[in-house]
Amino acid sequence: MKELFDYIKNLDFKGLFTETTSNSVIQFFRYVFVGGIAFIVDGGSLFFIEKTGINYLIAAVFAFVIGLICNYILSKLLVFKKSKVDGRVEFIVYGVIGVIGLLFTEIIMYILTDMVGIYFMLSKVVAAIIVLLWNFLARKIILYRR
């Protein structure tokens, strides 16, 4: 945690975002940053796809694919630079973890939107926070553990 605060205090953006690290706190900070960008891409796609008349749960699947690709590319650049497996297998496992996260998202959104009556975009925010934790932990443990 001290290393993270030192980077922030010293405005060391290179250390904070690009230098290779195995520090889980810094990796999680980067993952939240990357996840925020991917969420904007995913959420924006969801909003616009749903506005075309497609059911929000189906739109969430299409938006997920767009967000997953964005998340993978940014994660490889900023968070997890080295994997235990080769590139194709890595992306498949990354995607499988993401699909499990998508299932969580769909269940949470269905419960909050259809059963509780919350606006689907707010349901997406709640689901994204929960799924962010799942995705980070699963990817760190399965793909990027030293």
DSSP 8-state class, residue 113: I
- In a domain, residue 16? The reply is no
Place of tokens 């996840």: 35
Place of tokens 């969801």: 46
When mean pLDDT is compared across 14-18, 103-107, 114-118, the lowest value belongs to 14-18
For the stretch 63-101, pLDDT in tens is 999 999 998 899 888 887 766 667 778 889 888 999 999
Predicted pLDDT of residue 48: 96
* More reliable by pLDDT, 116 or 25: 116
Predicted pLDDT of residue 40: 95
Domain that holds residue 46: 2-7+23-142
- In a domain, residue 14? The reply is no
- In a domain, residue 31? The reply is yes
Angle, alpha carbons 142-24-88 (nearest 5°): 35
pLDDT of 26 over the 80 cut: yes
Give me the number of domains the chain comprises: 1
- In a domain, residue 17? The reply is no
- In a domain, residue 13? The reply is no
